[in-house]
């Protein structure tokens, strides 16, 4: 069951839901079980897109430590099969 929010309270509800700056998908997930009004999803999108905090961090890549790729210690089965296929192709021709 979803509660229909009257127009006079919609902006306040959106601001409260966006207090922790969830993204569009998270906000829609929160609201879809509890509240509804016409164009709710469009207003959620507008709220997030016009939020200065969200826009400031939007394009910042997530900070994560860099790990170098490790060299494989053994050959994969796929590589073995490719080597075998090539070997069989060359031996059948010769």
46 counts as binding Zn ion under rule CB under 5 A: no
51 counts as binding Zn ion under rule CB under 5 A: yes
21 counts as binding Zn ion under rule CB under 5 A: yes
Minimum distance from residue 57 beta carbon to Zn ion (Å):
9
DSSP letter string, 18-85: TTT---HHHHHHHHTTTEE-TTHHHHHHHHHHT-HHHHHHHTSPPP----PPPPPSS--HHHHHHHHH
88 counts as binding Zn ion under rule CB under 5 A: no
- Region binding Zn ion by CB under 5 A among candidate stretches 37-45, 52-60, 63-71, 84-92: 52-60
Distance of CA 64 to the CA centre of its chain: 16
- List interacting residues with Zn ion (CB under 5 A): 21, 51, 53-54
């Amino acid at each position: 069951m979803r509660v229909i929010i009257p127009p006079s309270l919609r902006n306040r509800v959106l601001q409260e839901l966006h207090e922790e700056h969830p993204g569009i998908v998270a906000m829609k997930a929160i609201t879809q079980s509890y509240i509804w009004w016409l164009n709710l999803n469009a207003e959620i999108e507008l709220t997030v897109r016009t939020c200065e905090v969200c826009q400031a961090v939007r394009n910042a890549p997530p900070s994560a430590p860099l790990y170098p790729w490790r060299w494989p210690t053994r050959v994969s089965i796929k590589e073995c099969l490719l080597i075998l296929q090539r070997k069989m192709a060359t031996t059948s021709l010769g």
